[in-house]
Amino acid sequence: MVERDLRRRGIRDERVLEAMERVPRHRFVSPPLAAMAYADVPLPTDEGQTISQPYIVALMTQALALSGGEKVLELGTGSGYQTAVLAELGAEVWSIERSPGLHAAASTRLASLGYPRIHLVLGDGTLGLPAESPFDRILATGSLPRVPLGLTSQLRPAGIFVGPIGELFDQRLVRIEYDPPHTRGETLCVCRFVPLVGEAGWLAAVRRPEEDP
């Protein structure tokens, strides 16, 4: 997967490639899908959520420019796969999940894999985690209609936000280096993530139009 899908598609950060080589992705998908775990596709997880495709995980992680020791806030723990990749890079990770079931499953999974320096929190990630701020990096792994000011204010100067911003079914993966008054933003790619449902995110659970009766 690392050679075939990640390096060939332009992921250059050797530390990210090595970290993704070490994380056993098959442990993060349901057993019937284990054979697909190293294909470069998003896969369904419990409760209608998804584990992002490896290339997107690599792209987001590379954009965070981690050298080890950073304090990172992840919004949307999901399976815990991205959380594990961040921990492999030496970050201290706080990851927030809204669903009690997914939070509990990720806690068990990450504990059994023995990752240190991971703090899993049940709650609304769109509000961040003011009590633990400031963070060096914030990564949203579900979409947001806009970058909430309440989140960027939890970044340290020169901190980086990465996440999918836009419409419900069509977003841009953005990277923002928060350094007022010289804050800079760039678009990494177009994408489609599941929504972050919360006070500063999407307000209600939504259904895809094709699911309407």
Cα distance between residue 213 and residue 40, in whole Å? 31
User: Do residues 173 and 188 make contact, with C-beta atoms less than 8 angstroms apart?
Assistant: yes
In angstroms, how far is the first alpha carbon of the chain from the final one?
Answer: 38
Residues 10-69 that bind ligand SAH (CB under 6 A): 49-52
Please confirm, yes or no, whether 52 is among the known catalytic residues: yes
Rule CB under 6 A: is residue 76 a binding residue for ligand SAH? Answer: yes
Identified binder of ligand SAH from the candidate list 99, 138, 163, 164, rule CB under 6 A: 99
Cα distance between residue 51 and residue 43, in whole Å? 5
Q: In angstroms, give the least distance from the CB of 180 to ligand SAH.
A: 25
Residues linked to residue 140 through DSSP beta bridges, in sequence order: 75
Cα distance between residue 182 and residue 185, in whole Å? 10
Cα distance between residue 127 and residue 20, in whole Å? 29
The 151-190 site mask, x for binding ligand SAH (CB under 6 A), equals ----------------------------------------
Pairing mode, strands 43-44 and 50-51 = antiparallel
Q: In angstroms, give the least distance from the CB of 10 to ligand SAH.
A: 21
Q: Based on CB atoms, which residue is closest to ligand SAH, 111 or 158?
A: 111
Sites of contact with ligand SAH (CB under 6 A): 49-52, 75-76, 78-79, 81-82, 96-99, 102, 124-126, 141-142, 194, 196-198, 201
Which residues are the active-site residues? 52
